Amino acid sequence: MANNKNSNYISIRDSRKILKYNIKQMKYYEGLKKRKLDVKEYTTVLKNENNIIEIENLKTCFFTDNGTVMSVNGVSFDIPKNKIIGVVGESGCGKSVTSLSIMQLVQAPQGQVIEGEIRFNADSLGYDENNQKLAYDIAKMPTKEMYKIRGKDITMIFQEPMTSLNPVFTIGYQLDEVLFIHTPNITKEAAKAHSIEMLKKVGISMPEHVYKSYPHELSGGMRQRVMIAMAIAGSPKLVIADEPTTALDVTIQAQILELLRDIQKKEQCSIMLITHDLGVIAEMADEVVVMYAGRVIERGTVHEIFHNPLHPYTKGLQKSKPLITSDKSEPLYSIPGQVPNPINLPNTCYFKNRCNKVCEKCSGDYPKTIKVSDTHYVSCYLYDESEVE
């Protein structure tokens, strides 16, 4: 009988090596989070003070029994003030992990931010001696210091409100908690009044009744409105909406998206909108970031991405969306193949085995980011620097 060794097989010796390496790495990165640092050690300078967040070369990985999974592998993009940034891509491409990295909510100790900068534009820091805007580097920020920002300046609307809200506490208790944490001197009466005002803002018709209710007593749409009320309670600068309408039906989806747009305009905040629905992105976003296998493969304004998509993956995503004008007799387009294994990824283009425009250059190093216009960037050998002005 032939002894065919499975390529996915890990020997006991290899497994022990991986485990030993994982323990060492997890202890190291967990230790960094617990250090007592001076503010100057996690303070940096913004490249553009009109940005609320600047992400540069962010790398977030998970230390698993099979090896190190590079979930986010060198992601770079900006979130400007008072803008809605849409992040799209297949499941597992790193969208949610990027947002959790910004919040310092990556599941630890297995998940760790190992490299890069996440510069947050904080008003309290002011300017340096060269008149450059100072910012916190969230990637280096101790966990205790992050508590002051998370939930107040940067908030998150999670995908499934039923699992995000605590079932044993009332809606009012959970809303008030946000204020008690970030405004310690506030009275119970003032916190209750503010919470009810937040419920009114998100379009809940009987806020006093909902304030006393438990999460299971509300519908999915109502729970999602409560999550939005909780997110805006502290007047945040950035709201991260991680697929906020996935668990809702189509009519409620439209209401929630309209509510988000209204809140963004009234509160003058930025929104990072993560979704699979390209129609939502086209309607809501000002700028779009397209991710694939942990990297940003294209970014630009919503007009550029939808009217002049460059990367074959971006084109494939758009073709896979059903349209009213689509021919019923033809099957819906799908991108062939699968996303590569995130363990031990090669330093070549990750999309080349699924691409219908693959060329010899694609077998070389991973393509660099090419500037097509002031706002449009793509990582693809089809658009090398010699062809682009």
* pLDDT, tens digit (0-9, with 9 covering 90-100), for 144-184: 999 989 989 999 998 888 888 999 999 999 999 999 988 88
May I ask the CATH architecture of the domain 32-153+236-383?
A: 3-Layer(aba) Sandwich (3.40)
Q: What is the mean pLDDT of residues 266-282?
A: 90
Q: What is the mean pLDDT of residues 130-145?
A: 93
**Which pLDDT does position 359 carry in this prediction?**
86
Domain spans of the chain, in order of start: 32-153+236-383
**Which pLDDT does position 115 carry in this prediction?**
94
Strand partners, 140: none
Burial of 99 from C-beta contacts in 10 A (0-12 / 13-18 / 19+): buried
**Which pLDDT does position 338 carry in this prediction?**
83
| CA dist., res. 237 & res. 287, Å (int) | 17
**Which pLDDT does position 321 carry in this prediction?**
79
The torsion angles phi and psi of 115, rounded to 5 degrees, stand at: -160, 160
Q: What is the mean pLDDT of residues 316-331?
A: 78
**Which pLDDT does position 92 carry in this prediction?**
86
**Which pLDDT does position 304 carry in this prediction?**
94
Tokens 């979930």 label which residue? 71
Tokens 């193949």 label which residue? 337
Q: Which of 33-42, 203-212, 248-257 has the lowest mean pLDDT?
A: 248-257
Q: What is the mean pLDDT of residues 49-59?
A: 95
Average pLDDT, the chain: 89
> Which of the pair, 388 or 191, is modelled with greater confidence?
191
**Which pLDDT does position 5 carry in this prediction?**
47
* Structural tokens at position 128: 């340096």
Q: What is the mean pLDDT of residues 95-116?
A: 94
